Structure 1
Amino acid sequence: MRTIHLNSSNLEEFQKDAIPNVMALGFFDGIHNGHQKVIHTAREIARKRNLPLAVMSFFPHPKTVLSKDDSKFDYLMSLSKKSSILESLNVDIFYIVKFDKDFCSLLPEQFVSSYLLDMQVNHAVAGFDFSYGHRGAGKVDSLKRDSGDLIEVTKVKEVDYQGEKISSTWIRQLISEGKMEQLMSLLGRFYETEVYWEAGNLRVSEHFMLPAPGIYKAGVTIKGERWETEVLVPKNRMDVYLAEQGKYHFLPNEKLGIIWYYRIPIAKETEGENISII
């Protein structure tokens, strides 16, 4: 898979090199089951047309650019993790558009012209709630018209679980509440947090979330190996501690993945107060 970072400075260069494609549009934070339906739909159309499958996402999150305060935004995954999952879904090209004030000021027709038509998109696929252009004025239902009827459009209906729409917002809420066992039904996999070793601590990598404080059953991955253990998330939610952490020898900045299964009930947590974090 080819990953391309697009911005106003290099857009023209990549427009010249673009080839006809089918494109899935969205932010895709977490790549949950709803996102996967959009991508799978686009992939099937691309297969039938014998065209490459492209995904266009945006970074940073629009809320961080449009918000009037400096409040922290909880990303579910880094761009590198997103790239890895998209590649496993057989995406051919991953476009990451820089979302800044110039980009969000584009009129809907300007976005479609510069980022879709000039990028040789002949069929666009998006979720029912996708919007584009200044103040989100462009909607999926208006995309075909804004392209001058040159782009075919497929709108993917919402995907729900037990009557509630699957969304990145819902997933963030469940993580913040420590309800990790519920995420398999929304993501199609357990949630994974990347951490790294620094100054004797396992710290959270940028653009990942930690669950609510507590002790969790989890899998740990490093260099292709995986084992299961208990993981403590302290009240500050900045570091994590593995059971018998002292027996492991990590290199500076070495990265690990923590795959969260479930939070151990309170009674067990009391028993587990002797968990070794040294």
Structure 2
Amino acid sequence: MKAIELEPRKLRELQRQPEPCVVALGFFDGVHLGHRQVISEARKIAREKGVLLAVMTFFPHPKTVLSKGKQEVDYLMPVTEKQRIFEELGVDLCYIVPFDPAFATLTPERFVKKYLLDLGAVHAVAGFDYAYGCRGEGHMDRMKMDSGGLLEVTKVEKVVCHGEKISSTLIREKIRTGAVEEISACLGEAYRVEGRVVGTVILMKSYYMLPSPGRYEVTIHSKKGELLTEAIVTKESGQIFLPDVEKSDLMPREYVSVEWQRCLFREREELLV
């Protein structure tokens, strides 16, 4: 898979020689089952048409830019992790659009022309609630009209779990409340974060959310294999404490993946070390 940041110069270069593609649109934070349904539908159409499958995502989160930094967004994963999953899902091209004030002012028609038609998109696929253009005025029911009839459009209906719409917002709420055992039903797999080992502490990489303070059962994936253990999350930002792990169990400064299995205790004062 080729990942391309669509900064202005690169965008102009690609527009000169566009490659026909079907594009899946969304922020795709967490790449949950709803997102995967969008990508799966786009992949099926791309294979039928014999063209490339592209995903277009954005960074930073639109809420951060539109609030002028006043509203912080907790990310479920960094862009690099999204790219890994996209590749596993059969994506050929990953377009990363810098979401900045200039981009936020594009009219819906201008977005469709500049970022879809001019990049060779022949069919666009997105969720039923996908919005685009200035103030989010564009929506999937008008996208074909915004393209002058040149773009085919598929709107994917909501995907639900236990009666709730699967969304990044729902997953963030489950993480905030420590309900990590419920996340796999939305993600299709357990929630994972990555960080670097320092003694018996894991220092988190940027753009990962941690559950609320408490004690959790986790599986740590490292070069030595898998380690089922317990972890403590405190109010100390960006750190996971491993009270039952010996220093020899993990390699110093190694980057590991932490898979959250279940919450054992939450917000117990004696655990907040």
Q: Into which bin does the TM-score normalised by the smaller protein fall?
A: over 0.9
Distance 1:71 1:137 in 2: 21
Paired position in structure 2 for 1:128:
128
Q: 1:196 to 1:140 in 2, by over 3 A?
A: same
Corresponding position: 1:41 with 2:41: yes
TM-score normalised per structure 2: 0.93
Distance 2:45 2:146 in 1: 21
1:56-95 deviation line (CA, Å, top 9, x unaligned): 0000000110114534320000011000011110111000
1:187-207 deviation line (CA, Å, top 9, x unaligned): 100000111235874211100
1:145-176 deviation line (CA, Å, top 9, x unaligned): 11111110000001111211111011001001
Paired position in structure 2 for 1:185:
185
Corresponding position: 1:22 with 2:22: yes
- Equivalent runs, 1:1-278 vs 2, <5 Å: 1-198=1-198, 201-223=201-223, 225-242=225-242, 243-252=244-253, 254-265=254-265
Gaps of 5+ in 2: none
1:178-234 deviation line (CA, Å, top 9, x unaligned): 100000111100000111235874211100011111111111112483222111112
1:11-46 deviation line (CA, Å, top 9, x unaligned): 101222321011100000001111110000001111
Contact 1:212 1:237 in 2 (8 A): no
RMSD: 2.0
Distance 1:72 1:222 in 2: 31
**Runs of at least 4 residues of structure 1 off by over 6 A?**
none
Distance 2:203 2:110 in 1: 42
Letter in 2 for 1:248: D
Q: 1:245 to 1:17 in 2, by over 3 A?
A: farther
Q: 1:178 to 1:245 in 2, by over 3 A?
A: farther
Distance 2:155 2:59 in 1: 22
Distance 2:222 2:93 in 1: 27
Contact 1:178 1:263 in 2 (8 A): yes
Q: 1:224 to 1:67 in 2, by over 3 A?
A: farther
Letter in 2 for 1:41: E
Distance 2:197 2:91 in 1: 32
* Count of residues in correspondence between the two structures: 270
Letter in 2 for 1:262: R
Gaps of 5+ in 1: none
